[in-house]
Amino acid sequence: MRRVIKVGTSLLRGSAGRPTAVVIADLAASLSRQRRQGETIALVTSGAVGLGCEALGLGQRPSEVVALQAAAAVGQGRLMALYQDAFAVRGLAVAQVLLTRGDLASRRRYQNACRTLEQLLTWGVVPVVNENDTLATDELRFGDNDTLSALVAVAIGADELVLLTDVDSLYSGDPRSDAEARPIEEVASLAELDSLQSVASGGGQWGTGGMTTKLTAARIATSSGIRVRLADGRDPAVLDALLAGERVGTLFQPSPTPLPDRKGWLAHALLPKGSLQLDAGAERALTQQGASLLAVGVQAVVGDFERREAVRLLASDGRELGRGLASLSSTELRELMGSSGVEVMHRDQLVLTGR
């Protein structure tokens, strides 16, 4: 079994009265037991900004990017020291891996990241992955480590992604305001998962995620054939039960027809620089015939992009149909829009993402 475990800021900030060092020690104890049983583990962690704020005596999470970057610079070393100490006493080495969205949006850098992670796992090292908050700009930020954890799971070909949070499961509504909200034990399909987006609630004070981002992460992972478990990380016994195969929290079943590696990268890791609005004929050609996109089917070009940069493909009503790499720049395409026989995007360079 190859697993990615994601632990959020709300847990590391001492949820349920447990200090950060204790939370990490308990986490290391559980994961080291799994490693001794032959499982492969990668960890995606939040917490650098929170620990930095704590060290600096800040009363709330900064809103300005430069302040977040500075707080992350203070907190990242403290965070890794806690992980190194906790795993070292259990005989395991850890490696710090800091990523920005740009590292995964470039195919070459994405493959380099995959190879590095794979080498660490081969050596028996536990990768501790976090967003590079110290350097990431708004444009290159994931914005939440739920998305990052799903992309890491795809990158290493994980069997399962575990999202540890401060709620015990996904609910049919917001349990804080809806007395009729009930826990959801299993989400069986992508269609069912998409229908639950409306019940997701926002993030808390210290984290940047929330149920919305967890559902997004679940969609990324399950569409690539990875099972997802959402569980309460405040009680170490819950994680132990989950890792032992018990049914706790919410289970998201993987798609029976997962996206291949490159299509998954096109769908989830790219940073779209613009959009192309298509007519009904182009929509049918893409969605029903598996065709490439031709300029004759493009009705509008939004944004500025160069050749081989990512764009979104939109239906005439604004629905997203897919994403891919454009063969022409936005300038070239505006001149050739509506022309017959001009290929804008080869079918191998696009993936359908319509829900």
Is 213 part of any known ligand binding site? yes
DSSP classification of residue 258: P
Residue 16: per-residue pLDDT? 59
Strands 250-252 and 350-352: unpaired
What does the pLDDT read at residue 127? 97
* Assigned CATH for 2-263: 3.40.1160.10
Known binding residue 208? Answer is yes
Q: What is the spatial distance between Cα 85 and Cα 28, in angstroms, rounded to a whole number? A: 10
Q: Give per-residue pLDDT as tens, 69-116.
A: 898 899 999 999 999 999 999 999 999 999 988 888 888 999 999 999
| Residue 250 annotated in ligand binding | no
Is 166 flagged in the annotation as binding? yes
Mean pLDDT of the chain, nearest integer: 88
Coil, strand or helix at 186: strand
Fold observed for domain 272-352 = 2.30.130
The proportion of the chain whose per-residue pLDDT surpasses 70, expressed as a percent, equals 92
Predicted pLDDT of residue 206: 40
For residue 210, say whether it is annotated as part of any ligand binding site.
yes
216 is in an annotated binding site: no
51 has pLDDT over 90: no
| Residue 214 counted as an annotated binding residue | yes
Q: For residues 355 and 51, what is the distance between their CA atoms, to the nearest angstrom?
A: 38
Closest CA to 12 of 173, 207, 238, 152: 207
d(CA 234, CA 19): 11
Which residues, at least 6 apart from 164, have a Cβ–Cβ distance to it below 8 Å?
Answer: 5, 6, 7, 8, 11, 231, 232, 233, 239
Q: Answer whether residue 203 shows pLDDT above 70.
A: no
287 is in an annotated binding site: no
Residue spans of the domains in the chain: they are: 2-263, 272-352
DSSP letters for 73-111 = HHHHHHHHHHHHHHHHTTT--EEEEEE-HHHHHSHHHHH
Query: Fold match between 2-263 and 272-352?
Result: no
Q: Which residue has the higher pLDDT, 60 or 25?
A: 25
pLDDT for 204 beyond 70: no
- Residues 192-201 pLDDT 10s: 887 777 555 4
Q: Is 212 annotated as a binding residue?
A: yes
Select, from the ranges 4-18, 186-200, 208-222, 340-354, the one with the highest average predicted confidence (pLDDT).
Answer: 340-354
Greatest CA separation found in the chain? 66
**Per-residue model confidence (pLDDT) at position 245:** 86
pLDDT at 354 (0 to 100): 77
